[in-house]
Amino acid sequence: MENNPLQLILNPRSIATVGAGNNPTKMGTIQALSIVKDGYPGKFYPLHPTEKEVFGFPAYKTAYDLPEPPDLVMFVLPAPLVVKIMEDFGKIGTKRAIVITAGFRETGVEGRQLEEQLKAVAARFGIRFLGPNCMGVINSDLPLNVTVCPLSGEPGLLGIASQSGTYITQTLPYLQDKGIRLAKAISVGNEGDLDLTDALDYLGSDQQCRAVALYIEGLKDVGRFLKVARRVTAQKPVVAQYVGGSDAGARAGSSHTGALAGPDNLYDGLFRQAGIIRVSTVEELYYHGWMLASQPPLKGKRIGVLTNSGGPGTAIAHTCNAGGLDVPPFSDNLQQEIRKHLPPHGAIGNPVDLTFHMDAEVISATLPDLILKSKEIDGLVIHGLMGTGFLKAIYPHVAELFGEMSAEEFTSHFERDLTKALSIPERYDLPVVVSSFFGREDNFTSAYRDRGIPVFDGPEKAAKAMLALYRYSLVRQRTADQKTVIPPVSARAQEIIGAAVHSGHRILDEYASKQILAAYGIPVCRELPARSINEAMEAASEIGYPLVLKGCSIDFAHKTGHGLVHLNLQDEIQLRSAYRKIGHAAGQEIPVLVAKMIKGERELMAGLTRHPAFGPAVLFGLGGVLAEALQDRTFRLAPLTSGDAFEMINEIKAAAIIGSYRGLPKVDLKVLASILQTVGNLGLLHPEIEAVDLNPVIISGADPVVVDALVVLNENVAAR
């Protein structure tokens, strides 16, 4: 972490601000006030062209007037002025900067040119910077806050890096209310220099951060991100929200920070490959991140549910179970112990349902203590902890029964010591999460949140937070990935590709495509090309019936829809008939492929695609004619480890058909995984290849066999 440029940005001994004065309506002033008022212990140097003092601190007109080169300079002034003043700081020796100012790449051509000038000046003087168009950083441990909202409370445990400045500053009051405390927060803005991957690298190594949350609109270097993320997630959990996968999200991200968005399914595969837990909303980003940071890891799948109402308890149990967790019945001995504290109609299995119960000690301390010390569960979800919030709600109805007692006196009469309840997660080193429909107006909610125990405003939300712990436990259980092995380039494959490029063909016909696959050991069906009926007859004699006859022309990439595929041909008569029909359908005599008929009831697909930010990405999914309709597929970035390949295989919704299925043998997973790894290697070994489509891959017995394939070359390469 010492080598990470962000180390000094988040731990500067001195800060200069450019653009902060004494006008509290100005953004620069508001951010400088956060530095001064939130306890920054270092030296503060405001620069201002006219003010003599800023907040009582001496103000300096230029960088050259400063008593020393500051460790960090923060710019909040019009964009055209930033480049020149950055150069001034470079000349005096400052090496770190935060450019809050907007008006750069996100605004169009002129802004992009200005940002390039900024980067050039910074590079010339060795200045590493965040931004432009960002909101700064927070280090709650120093403390340091250069954002627009005040930071208060104890140092936190959750690190966050965001391509939206709002999510590290304007949400601070919201997070404080929810009991979520940040350790470090980094706004990267346009990522003119330091980017989200640099931030992840820093937060991943920071001892204060026990979990990392990422808000992502697009990544510049996906390969580098994957490498860093894999290292970080092996040590601590990472959650991420990605919003650039739709057309609207991509447009908004581009105008916001100039982010390079990518297809949602590729990002989904990237996160899975990296071991990152993906979330759908910013609320989940904070809450699941906080759950992972504040609670002990989940050591197993057994979850206990404790509730004062049947509906929420059922919702929690259902959500946990649907996500892969178990909600097992408690043992007879434990149920007997629980029964001693419940009314006769209360459920004692799991969930434990007290029904309406006014003794808060039972649900907050007595029963959690019994359940956790039984060692029959690995985590506990509690719904219905409530005290003063409920009492305040019912006070208008009961006030007259208590004479002149005020609402405050009424609630204080029922308050309980929560010390024992709050210590339970620590004492048993097991995760506990709470669901309550009351907020901080309730003493239970406020006490639990202040102690770092997550409290959700819905039972399903609490259950999903427990599922976040479970998902990370699966990441930690991954076997050590074997190193990827990239074979040497096949001369035969290179010859085929070279011939296509020379002839100006971007799409390779099926036979040429399969020859490339076969050159790298991918199992393909036995087949021979033919340009006449006589050649087709000779090929049939060599291969043997039953056969498949296909048109083989680059003019017909999708043959089935054009009537160019004839299956299960049993003899010469059927072969001749099929040959005539192909010529008729094509409108002329075209080359054909004579192939061995491969029979199998299971069809899969594999492939390769490219995206500017991703490079080659491997696809795997359910194949055949329904592939497009069902869209049951997953992605990973090349190169694939064997672990990546096996995860892909088990990830599709139809994964059950890969095992022993309806009397069919289990698919040879090693061969299937090898196909996926090899497809990824094709994209690395042959940058000319833009896409590969293997569909279907028929499972013949237990053996995967590619029976149709298409290789597409890069448009620029094919045009040479």
DSSP letter for each residue of 76-100:
-S-HHHHHHHHHHHHHHT--EEEE-
**pLDDT value at position 261?**
47
Region class of 568: left (phi > 0), else alpha (psi between -120 and 50), else beta: left
Which of 171-180, 252-261, 476-485, 591-600 is predicted with the least confidence, judged by mean pLDDT?
252-261
**pLDDT value at position 130?**
98
**pLDDT value at position 192?**
96
Mean predicted confidence (pLDDT) in 468-481: 89
**pLDDT value at position 353?**
94
Tokens 């996100």 belong to which residue? 106
Handedness of CA 424, 464, 172, 8 (dihedral sign): positive
Residue among 515, 518, 497 nearest 506 (CA): 497
**pLDDT value at position 257?**
36
Mean predicted confidence (pLDDT) in 241-250: 66
CA 138 to chain centre: 23
In this model, does residue 698 exceed pLDDT 80? yes
**pLDDT value at position 481?**
66
Domains of the chain and CATH, by start = 6-292 (3.40.50.261), 297-476 (3.40.50.261), 526-596 (3.30.1490.20), 602-718 (3.30.470.20)
Cβ contacts of residue 55 below 8 Å, gap of 6+?
A: 22, 32, 33, 36, 46
Amino acid at 551: G
In this model, does residue 259 exceed pLDDT 60? no
Dump pLDDT digits (tens) for 2-47: 689 999 999 999 999 999 999 999 999 999 999 999 999 999 999 9
Dump pLDDT digits (tens) for 158-185: 999 999 999 999 999 999 999 999 999 9
Percent of the chain past pLDDT 90, that is, above it, reads 81
Q: How does the average pLDDT of the chain come out, rounded?
A: 92
**pLDDT value at position 561?**
61
In this model, does residue 644 exceed pLDDT 60? yes
Dump pLDDT digits (tens) for 331-373: 999 999 999 998 888 899 999 999 876 678 899 999 999 999 9
Give the span between the Cα atoms of 312 and 65, in whole angstroms.
Answer: 64
Percent of the chain past pLDDT 70, that is, above it, reads 95
In this model, does residue 446 exceed pLDDT 80? yes
Region class of 183: left (phi > 0), else alpha (psi between -120 and 50), else beta: alpha
Q: How far is CA 61 from CA 21, 69, 352, 552, in A?
A: 12, 14, 68, 75
Confidence label for 480 from pLDDT (cuts 50, 70 and 90): low
Give the span between the Cα atoms of 447 and 434, in whole angstroms.
Answer: 12
Confidence label for 295 from pLDDT (cuts 50, 70 and 90): very high
CA 676 to chain centre: 22
**pLDDT value at position 252?**
37
Mean predicted confidence (pLDDT) in 219-238: 95
Dump pLDDT digits (tens) for 595-620: 999 999 999 999 999 988 899 999 99
268 phi/psi in degrees, rounded to 5:
-60, -45
Dump pLDDT digits (tens) for 130-151: 999 999 999 999 999 999 999 9
Give the span between the Cα atoms of 495 and 499, in whole angstroms.
Answer: 6
- pTM higher than the cut 0.75: yes
